[in-house]
Structure 1
Amino acid sequence: MPIHRKSISVALVLAAACSTTAFAGGFQRGTADTDILFEPGTMNTRVSLTYVDPQRGLTSINGQDGDFGDYTGDYLIPNYSVSFGNEVFGCAGTATESFAANADYSGAPGGALPSQVSSTQSTSTADRLDFATATSISQTQRLAFESQELGLTCRVSYQADSGRYSLLGGVFVEDFHFEGTSFGTITRGPQAGLRTRVEVESDGGYKAGFRIGAAYEIPEYALRIQAMYRSEVKHDDITGDGTVTFLNAPITPITVESALSEATSPQFVDIKAQTGIAPGWLLLGSFRWTDWSTNEVSVSSISNPNFGISSSSYAPYHWRDGYTAQIGVGHAFNDQISAAVAVGYDSGVSTGAETTYTDLYTLSGGVSFKANKMAELRFGGLVGYWTSGDQSTSQDSYYNATVGDDMVYGINASLRLTF
């Protein structure tokens, strides 16, 4: 028996998953809403907002146990898309926050992470812990970055007796913005003992990338299989300025130049599938592989030759590639209301150099309300269980730490208008 396409929309996956990629291992946030290319109508526009509250905190630092508070901050992910086209051809403009991270270690002992040698540009853990020869040391208090993506993706479709075949492709541009705060101490020379607070802000210009994919559909059975590849983007021009404030001496703050080493938004492959299994019922599934192993080490540096300032701090990642899988079921109660529920798994990418991104198990659900042929509202929610983890100097971290079992929560809302 045919399962009519109008009964359940593939976009219900978005509500059920509550923008699940926002919880994926690594720095993943939003994904361009190219699914809007498959919505019926000559013109569609969709606006969505996802709120995420990842509750991750360190349970021990260099052997000291304690409740140091959550260092992962909550955040919002906006997502915008608009499409024009017909059954044969269509294009969609998209905008989202593609990658980002925010960590605040003010709750750690001393109000920051353990010390590392800052009088070096080395990415060697041994060099970063060689305090005997250091002329300055630093402690990271806060790190944050974000990348905004603007894209255009098009679809070309061919209807055959066996189904509808589509090719998808497009381009996008992505920028990079970084902010950091750290404490510094001069350990040698006439200024030994001088303590500082360093605040920097650096930006990278827009860099281009591309996405390409394909889809196969049998609309009368609500069957669709879609694969999409997104290229990596390398940001190698992240520069800006900052301020060095002296904490224990009456010295006027000094302006410095700042820079961040090359940052890579990794390539990934997204596979989505759905099929009708009975009238009004839909089976949903998705899989994503992400090349997180490109993220090795990040170095933030400052300089001011006039004052002899040259310092840096680093963050080791040494991630492995990650994948996210999800399976769920959707049901249309009537022409106006549909719902879905899904379970998911995100493989941890941490290898022992940092603790944040361990295995994550999720349960999500969503509801779709179609007020009329022109408007649709979707609401979704997610709860996730983050497994415990640890990091150590033996795995190229510059301090030992552990995290316990933690939770992640999220909600999502979107509005689609069709013309």
Structure 2
Amino acid sequence: MQVTRKIIAAAAVLAAAQSTTALAGGFQRGTADTDILFEPGTVNMRAGMTYVDPQRGFTSINGQSGDFGDYTGDYTIPTYSISLGNDTVGCAGTATESFAAESDYSGSPGGALPAQVSSLSTGQPVGTTTAARTDIFGATTASVSRTQALSFSSSELGVTCRLSYAAESGRYSLLGGVFVEDFHFEGTSLGTTYAAPGFPLAAVNTRVEVESDGGYKAGFRIGAAYEIPEYALRVQVMYRSEVKHDDVEGDGTVTVLNSLVPTLPAGTVLPVNSFLSEATSPQFVELKAQTGIAPGWLLLGSFRWTDWSTNDMSVSSISNAAFGINSSSYAPYHWRDGYTATLGLGHAFNDEISGAVVLGYDRGVSTGAETTYTDIYTLAGGVSFKANKMAELRFGGLVGYWTDGSQSVSQGAYFDGTVGDDFVYGVNASLKLSF
């Protein structure tokens, strides 16, 4: 049985699957479009954009219940790719936003998350244990901070090549390439400096705003694929290496909001240096498979393991020796590894139009220290319009159900919190040109 219209059906399934991929647990965003290496044609170019609206907010913070609004920010994921090759060899250049997150906690009680210890009167760095961070009235506690907003992003640029061998049993391909990834961080917090260590009288209240960058770091991907083109069958496995960003630094400002110190009146702005502890883009392995099951019908599935357990915590620090500023804020994760699975079905209605639906499941990586990334169940759909041999438009949409969850001090968080059942929505569109 030869499966006709296999390429069109595969395109529609891909459009739906791209929406699902954008919701993988942790800080995963886009993945390099290496599938373009298997597209027919000597030269292929594809540009796409995915929009995701994750609606997640706390239902209680330290026992206080309420509607504090969504702290997760909506985001867009651009993807670009261009490939050049033939049936034997091909290479593709890709670009995407690989990892990112954005949170705004200004809707929380008091306009920020609960307080944590940010500096000690001894001059020693604050520890990263829960006990150290929650001892806000301790004898050596000099100041506390409250996180108001956080965001970071990583852009990836890469080149991946395919070397294929055609035999009677099918086509075998080796895949490999390199990429570089940068890192950008921004944070805002509210700070309070005590009049005396351990004495919770506010001598100075401040707003801290920082921005830090890490240079491009290299990584690699390697994989293999097996195809029987006449049946639209392809099985592909790809490994992406982790990338560690250990040089994230920049600058920022400390703005005095109100003060009991005559030399630091309200409105004073002090410059600071900013630093972020090591950030890791985790390694992952993804298995993707598709096969024709009847004329014009395509079945597709995927499974991805991501090493999210390498993300244990992050510490954002500021310093200004001239004014004795040396403080930090702490974000615990203690994530477990993530698993994402999808199953899709595509159908070609005619030579120009095909559609698909994809079911997805992402096992949440939260373990109780941070409660954002719980289990997600998704339903996505996609459609492909191929007007001629050169141009193809793809559109996809997704709705996801986000399960409830909680975090607690006993599990490594520095405050207790709960989130309810939430929803997430996404749409994407792409244009491919072939020559």
TM-score range, shorter chain: over 0.9
Write the deviation string for residues 99-120 of structure 1: whole angstroms up to 9, x where unpaired: 0000000000000000000014
State the 1:2 CA deviation: 1.1
Structure 1 length as normaliser, TM-score?
A: 0.98
Aligned counterparts, 1:234-245, within 5 A = 234-245=244-255
Aligned-partner SS, 2:378? strand
Contact 2:19 2:397 in 1 (8 A): no
Cα distance per residue 1:284-329 (max 9 Å; x no partner):
1011100000000100000001110000000000000011001010
- 1:206 paired with 2:211, answer no
1:137 match: 144
Checking the alignment, whether the CA contact within 8 Å between 1:18 and 1:381 is kept in structure 2 is: no
Between the aligned partners of 2:278 and 2:381, the Cα distance in structure 1 is 38
**TM-score relative to the length of structure 2:** 0.95
Residue equivalent to 2:334? 318
Paired with 1:314 and 1:107, the residues of 2 have a C-alpha distance of 20
State yes or no: 1:355 paired with 2:371. Answer: yes
Matching residue within 375, 399, 415 for 1:399 = 415
Deviations 1:252-280 (A, max 9, x none): 21000000000000000011100000000
| Corresponding residue for residue 127 of structure 2 | 122
Query: What is the DSSP-based 3-state SS (H/G/I as helix, E as strand, rest coil) of the residue aligned with 1:53?
Result: strand
Partner of 2:349: 333
Which residue number in structure 1 is paired with residue 262 of structure 2?
none
CA contact (8 A) 2:318 2:326 kept: yes
Give the Cα separation in 2 of the matches to 1:130 and 1:217: 59
Distance 2:207 2:318 in 1: 12
1:397 partner SS? coil
Provide the aligned C-alpha RMSD in A: 1.2
Does residue 182 in structure 1 map to residue 189 in structure 2? yes
1:7 is displaced (CA, Å) by 4.9
Which residue number corresponds to residue 122 of structure 2?
none
Pick from 285, 304, 323 the counterpart of residue 320 of structure 2: 304
Q: Secondary structure at the match of 1:320?
A: coil
Note if 1:28 corresponds to 2:35: no
| 8 A contact 2:126–2:328 mirrored in 1 | yes
State the AA in 2 paired with 1:317.
Y
What is the CA-CA distance between 1:192 and the residue it aligns to?
Answer: 4.7
Q: Provide runs of 4+ in structure 1 moved above 4 Å.
A: none
Once the two structures are superposed, residues 7-26 of structure 1 have per-residue CA deviations (whole angstroms, 9 ceiling, x without a partner) of: 53534332122432210110
Question: Which of 132, 157, 161 is equivalent to 1:150?
Answer: 157
After superposition, give the CA deviation of every residue in 1:55-109 in whole Å (9 maximum; x if it has no partner).
Answer: 0000000000000000001011000000000000000000000000000000000
In structure 1, the residue matched to 2:112 is: 112
- Kindly indicate whether the alpha-carbon contact (under 8 Å) linking 1:18 and 1:366 is maintained by their aligned counterparts in 2: no
State the one-letter code of the partner of 2:126. Q
The letter of the residue matching 1:381 is G
Gaps of 5+ in 1: none
Aligned to 1:222: 232
Residue 169 of structure 2 is aligned with which of 162, 175, 194? 162
| Paired residue secondary structure (1:410) | strand
CA distance in 2, matches of 1:10, 1:265: 29
8 Å contact kept, 1:5–1:222: no
